[in-house]
Structure 1
C-alpha cells in the first residue's frame, strides 16, 4: 500500500510582545488489511490537521487565540469472522469527521506580581459526520487564584452549551436532537508550606438535558503533596470526583467505527482516590509511581450486535454482525497502577519507559470488554554520530476480550452473548534523521516493523509494515 505524509510548521521569531504559529499536517493511505477471518479488505484513511495560534502581551495580561480544524476519513471495513455474502449495511460505508474549534483567552502574565492570577475566555466548536450527525458547542470559562497571604483562594468556573443532531435519544424511537447545558463551579483553598502543599474544596456540576434528565452533583476536590527530600522525593495524594461529559465528537475520535447515531451516557465518577511518589534518582534519572482507585457509574464499553440473516433460505439462518459498535454500560471499580522511568543525558540519549496495570470490578458484566489488563510503552532517542540521530519506540497492549450480543426476533429474553479473544498488540517503530546541510534534513522510518495485524477494536485490524522516507526543510 502507499502512504502520503506531509507536515508544515511556521513560527515567528521569539518576541517579548507577541507569538504566532501555523501547523499543517496530512497523512493518508490506500492500503489493504487482512482481517481475523482471513479476508483482505480495503481500509483507506486520511487525516488532515490545521492549527493557527498566537498571543499578544498587553502589559500585565496576555491575549491568546487558537484556531484548529481536523478532518479524518475512513471506512467501516472490519468484521469479527469471515465476511458473509450478505454483509451488514454499514460494511464499506464511507465515514468522515470534521472538527473545528476556536478559543480566545485572557490571562495574567506570570511575571506580574499582582495577588490575583486569572485565566478566562470563551470557546466555540463544531463537529459533523458524513452520515449526517452534527454537534455545535459554545462556552465560557474562568479560573481565578488570589493570594490572601496565609492562603490562596481559587475559583474555577465554566458554562458550556452543546447541541447534537440526528442521534439516538433515550425516550423516543427515532433519532432526534439533544441539547445540554453544563455548569461547573469549583471553589477551593490552598495552603503552602516550605516542603508541602494542601488544597481542598468542592466540585459542583449541574447538567440540564432537555432530551432526558437533569442532574446535579457535588464532589470532593482535595489534593496534597509532601517533599521530604527536595528534588529527589515527592509524595502526592488526591481525593476527587467528577461527572465526565462523553461528548459526541470525543467518542467518534476514540473509536471511528462507533454507530454514528450514538448518544453515550455521561460517566459519574463518584470518587477517585490516587497517590504515589515521584522524583529523581540522579540528575539524569527520574521516576513516577502512582496508584489510583475510582468508583464509576455508567462506564461505557464497545460491543457488536448480531442478528439473523432473514434473506437466507436455510432453516438455521446464519448470523450477521453489525460492524458499527454499540455501547453497553456497567458500574465499575477501577484500580490502576502506573509507573514511569526516564533517563535523559543532554541531547545524546533519552529513554522513557511507561507501564500500567488495570483491574475492573463490574456489577453485572463478567469482564470489561476490549479493556486490557496492562500496557507497556518504551521510547528512545540516540545521537549516533554528529549529524545522525535515531529513535525507536514500542507499544504493547495486553490480551483483551470482546463481547457480541445476539437479539432473537422471536424472544424478548436477554440477548445471548459471545466472547472473542483479541491478541496482544505489539507495535515496534524505528527511524533516523540525517542533517545533510544547514536547514535541510533527510528522514526515514519503519512503522510496525514486526508486520503484525494488530486489532484496534474487534474485527478492525491495523495496516502492516510501513516504510516512509522524506526530507524536511526549515527557513
Structure 2
C-alpha cells in the first residue's frame, strides 16, 4: 500500500490539464485519396519481459530507415511458431471507393495447420481510429507422437485512439488462448493426451492518456493496464500496472511505474508489488545531451533474500560527432520485477507451484554508436554490461524432465552482450534488416546457464519482384543453448547436454491477383530440422502453408 501512496504523490505532479475534455475534429467523413494506418497508431499492450531483462530507458539512436514489412526481434515461440513475415500491403491511391481498410487472410498447411489473420480498421476521420484484430494458428500434430505435440494459439483484440488538439486518449482490450501439451516425456512412454494438455488464458486491458499540445511547457502521460493469466490447473495471476511520465520544458523529467499482482498456485497465495520512480535533469550543450538523476525501486510481498528497496544513479548521454554518427551511453540499476505471466508467455511447459521472484540489477551499462551514412542505411552497434542478483533461467525438473522450473542464482551473475542492428532500404522495393547479438554469462554459483542462448541472429528481407509479386524471407539463428538431461527415473544421473543451434529459414510469397484478392505461399523451417528451443521438446520440420487474402 505504501508503494501505491508513493505513486499517487508522484502522479500529482502531472498537471490538472489531463482532465480537459477531448477536442475532436467535427468532420466525420473519410477523406478521399490515400489512407495509411500508421504503425505508431496501433495500441501495443504490455509485452513480456525476459528472465533477466529490466525496462531500460531508450538510448539515443539515429532513426533507422523506414522498413515497410514486419521487422521483429527474434523471440522464438516454441508453442505456436506464429508467422513473423507479413508482406507490406500496397498503398492504394484514388477515390473513396478505391480505399480498403479491412484485411482478411486465411490459409492451411501441413501438420493440419489452419491460420487466420483479420484486421478491421474504422477511421471516422484522422482523429478517431479504431481497430479490431483476430489471429489464429493451430497445429493438429507436431514432431513427436502426432497429436500429443499439437498446439493452438488464438488472439482477439480491439483498440482505439482518439486524438484531440490537446490530449490523445488510447484504449485496448486483448484476449488470447494458448493450447499446448507436455510432450517432453521419455520416448516410448504411453500417456493420455488429456493428461498432458496445458492451456493458458491471457487478458490484457489498457487505458492511456497523453499530452500532445506542442505549445505547452509541460508534457505528461498516464496509463493504467490490467493483465491476468490462468492455466487449466491451479496457477493464476492478475495484476494492475500504472505508469506516469512528466517533463517540464524537456528539462526536468519524472517517470513512474507501479505494479500490483496476486499470484496463486496449488500450495500458496502471494500478493506482490513493485514501485519505481526515476527523476532526472537534462543538459544540452552543443552536440552533447546528458540526463542525470537517480532510480528508486522497491518491492514487497516476495521471499527474496536481498533488500526490499534500492536507489541507484541514473545517467544517459549522447554526443553527435557528425550528422551521420552519434555516440550514446546509459547507466541504470535497481529492482527488476518478474511475473508469472512473463514466464508463461515464454515457456508453456512450466511446473506446478512455480516460484516467481524478483531480481536486482546491481548495474546496467550500455554504450555504443549509431551510424547513418545515407538516408537508406542505418546501423547501431553496442555493448551492454549487467550484474544481476537472483537471475533466473529455465531448468528441467528432475527426475522427470517434462516440466521446467525457474532456477534463481542467489549470487551475482555478470551478463555481457555485444549487439548490432541494421536496416538497409536498397530502394523502395527492396529492404534488408539485421538484428544480432553475442552474449556471455558468468557466476560463482553455477557453471551452466540452461536454456539461455549465447548467440542470436535475425536477418530479414522484403522484395517486390514485379508489380503484383512480393517475396519476404527470414533467417533466424539461436545458439549456445544447454539442457539438463536425465533418464526420467532417479536423480543423481543428470548430465548437461549442448543442444544443436536453431537455424531457421522462412520464405513467404505474396501475389496480388487484383486490388481486392491476393494469394500467398509460405515455407517455414525450410532446412527441415527438428531443433529444440527447450530440452526434450523437438519442433516441427518443414511447414508449408497456402491461402488467400481479401481487402475490402
Q: TM-score range by the shorter chain?
A: 0.7 to 0.9
Residues 225 and 19 (structure 1 numbering): CA distance in 2 closer, same or farther, change over 3 Å?
same
Instruction: Output one character per residue of 1:43-85: Cα deviation in whole Å (capped at 9) or x when no partner.
Output: 1111011121112234301111111111111100014x53446
SS of 1:458 mapped into structure 2: coil
| Residue in structure 2 matched with residue 311 of structure 1 by the alignment | none
Structure 2, unpaired ranges of 5+: 1-110
Structure 1, unpaired ranges of 5+: 168-174, 308-320
What displacement does 1:122 show? Answer: 1.7
Count of matched residue pairs? 439
SS of 1:456 mapped into structure 2: coil
Partners of 1:383 and 1:390 within 8 A in 2: yes
| Residue in structure 2 matched with residue 312 of structure 1 by the alignment | none
Q: Report 1:54-453 matches (<5 A).
A: 54-79=160-185, 82-84=187-189, 93-109=196-212, 111-147=213-249, 152-166=251-265, 175-209=267-301, 215-230=308-323, 232-307=324-399, 321-330=400-409, 331-404=412-485, 417-453=494-530
In 2, distance between residues paired with 1:404 and 1:387?
Answer: 50
| Residue in structure 1 matched with residue 532 of structure 2 by the alignment | 455
Partners of 1:433 and 1:443 within 8 A in 2: yes
Residues 83 and 266 (structure 1 numbering): CA distance in 2 closer, same or farther, change over 3 Å?
farther
Indicate whether 1:18 and 2:128 are aligned: yes
In 2, distance between residues paired with 1:118 and 1:164?
Answer: 32
What displacement does 1:250 show? Answer: 0.7
Residues 364 and 271 (structure 1 numbering): CA distance in 2 closer, same or farther, change over 3 Å?
same
Instruction: Output one character per residue of 1:420-453: Cα deviation in whole Å (capped at 9) or x when no partner.
Output: 2211111111111111111221111101111110
CA RMSD, aligned part only? 2.3
In 2, distance between residues paired with 1:19 and 1:470?
Answer: 29
Residues 451 and 228 (structure 1 numbering): CA distance in 2 closer, same or farther, change over 3 Å?
same
In 2, distance between residues paired with 1:84 and 1:5?
Answer: 31
Partners of 1:178 and 1:211 within 8 A in 2: no
Partners of 2:148 and 2:193 within 8 A in 1: no
Higher relative contact order (CA 8 A, sep 6+): 2
SS of 1:31 mapped into structure 2: coil
What displacement does 1:200 show? Answer: 1.3
Instruction: Output one character per residue of 1:287-345: Cα deviation in whole Å (capped at 9) or x when no partner.
Output: 111000100011112222334xxxxxxxxxxxxx2410122222310110001222113
Instruction: Output one character per residue of 1:63-120: Cα deviation in whole Å (capped at 9) or x when no partner.
Output: 11111111111100014x53446x7x999511111111111111101x4310000000
Partners of 2:303 and 2:357 within 8 A in 1: no
Partners of 2:401 and 2:485 within 8 A in 1: no
In 1, distance between residues paired with 2:473 and 2:522?
Answer: 9
TM-score, normalised relative to structure 2: 0.75
Residues 397 and 121 (structure 1 numbering): CA distance in 2 closer, same or farther, change over 3 Å?
closer
* Greater mean deviation of Cα atoms: 443-452 or 136-145: 136-145
| Residue in structure 1 matched with residue 158 of structure 2 by the alignment | 52
What displacement does 1:456 show? Answer: 1.4
In 2, distance between residues paired with 1:44 and 1:29?
Answer: 5
SS of 1:455 mapped into structure 2: coil
Partners of 2:451 and 2:533 within 8 A in 1: no
Residues 299 and 8 (structure 1 numbering): CA distance in 2 closer, same or farther, change over 3 Å?
same
* Greater mean deviation of Cα atoms: 152-161 or 250-259: 152-161
What displacement does 1:220 show? Answer: 2.2
What displacement does 1:364 show? Answer: 1.7
Partners of 2:401 and 2:486 within 8 A in 1: no
TM-score, normalised relative to structure 1: 0.87
Partners of 2:487 and 2:494 within 8 A in 1: yes
